[in-house]
């Protein structure tokens, strides 16, 4: 028996949302979205089908979790291996084109974007750049010392709240995953031999273990 498009592409949590919505007043909207996902999955070229297009390749589906985004351009309908652009907004140095499996993406809790319209990777990246000219978490933390971004005696939640309040006082909003930005800031400090506060060390150890278990933080297989 053929699998439904939602069981192929969606996490269990998102499937439950759709199941409930399809029984409610918004049934028509969610039914149309399922048809869109089915069409975009069907229209997506097979693996290597767009490799000659580089950044002019069209992304047909968009997954996101916090500020980590995956734009799918190619797929193998049998193995469910996919190819696309993956990484964090504002983290160009970490963004790569590579392979993953739909199963890994689902199990990591990524959500399908209900409002995404297929577009070229170039168009997507240009749109992100214009939005990020405000205050990206990565750029913000790179611009200040660690002891200013994370004062001693605070845990990650308190440090994030204090930094957000400081930016709000300047009329700015932090965009992106502040936890991921803190992790990279602390990782760089460790490489420089700097001593961490207990709160920073605890956060870094917990986040490191979490990333080891998450296949989406592993480097994609090379093209």
Q: How confident is the model at residue 1 (pLDDT cuts 50, 70, 90)?
A: very low
Range name among 12-26, 47-61, 193-207 with the lowest pLDDT average: 12-26
Helix (H) or strand (E) holding 181: helix 178-191
Ordered by start, the domain boundaries in the chain are: 5-131, 135-212
160 φ, ψ to 5°?
-65, -45
- Give strand pairing partners of 119: 59
pLDDT for 58: 97
Per the model's pLDDT, the better-predicted residue between 177 and 165 turns out to be 177
Cβ–Cβ under 8 Å, residues 182 and 150: yes
Is the predicted pLDDT of residue 171 greater than 60, yes or no?
no
Per-residue pLDDT tens over the stretch 17-44: 889 888 888 889 889 999 999 999 999 9
Is the confidence at residue 99, as pLDDT, over 90?
yes
State the Rg of the chain over Cα: 19
pLDDT band at 2 (very low <50, low <70, confident <90, very high): very low
Q: Residue 220 and residue 84: Cα distance in Å, rounded?
A: 10
Burial of 185 (0-12, 13-18, 19+ CB in 10 A): buried
**Does position 110 have pLDDT exceeding 80, yes or no?**
yes
Mean confidence (pLDDT) of the chain:
86
């Amino acid at each position: 028996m053929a699998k439904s498009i939602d069981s192929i592409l969606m996490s269990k949590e998102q499937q439950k949302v759709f199941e409930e919505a399809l029984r409610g007043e918004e049934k028509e909207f969610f039914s149309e979205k399922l048809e869109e996902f089915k069409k975009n999955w069907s229209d997506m070229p097979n693996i290597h089908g767009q490799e000659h297009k580089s950044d002019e390749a069209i992304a047909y589906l968009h997954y996101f979790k916090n500020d980590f985004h995956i734009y799918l351009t190619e797929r193998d309908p049998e193995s469910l291996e996919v190819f696309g652009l993956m990484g964090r907004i504002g983290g160009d140095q970490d963004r790569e084109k590579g392979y993953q499996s739909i199963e890994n993406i689902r199990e990591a809790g990524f959500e399908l974007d209900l409002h995404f319209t297929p577009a070229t990777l170039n168009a997507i990246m240009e749109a992100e750049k214009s939005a990020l000219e405000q205050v990206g978490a990565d750029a913000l933390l790179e611009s200040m010392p660690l002891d200013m971004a994370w004062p001693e005696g605070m845990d990650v939640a308190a440090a994030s709240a204090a930094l957000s309040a400081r930016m709000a006082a300047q009329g700015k909003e932090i965009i992106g995953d502040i936890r991921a930005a803190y992790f990279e800031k602390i990782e760089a400090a460790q490489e420089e031999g700097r001593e961490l506060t207990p709160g920073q060390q605890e956060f870094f150890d917990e986040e490191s273990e979490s990333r080891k278990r998450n296949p989406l933080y592993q480097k994609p297989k090379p093209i």
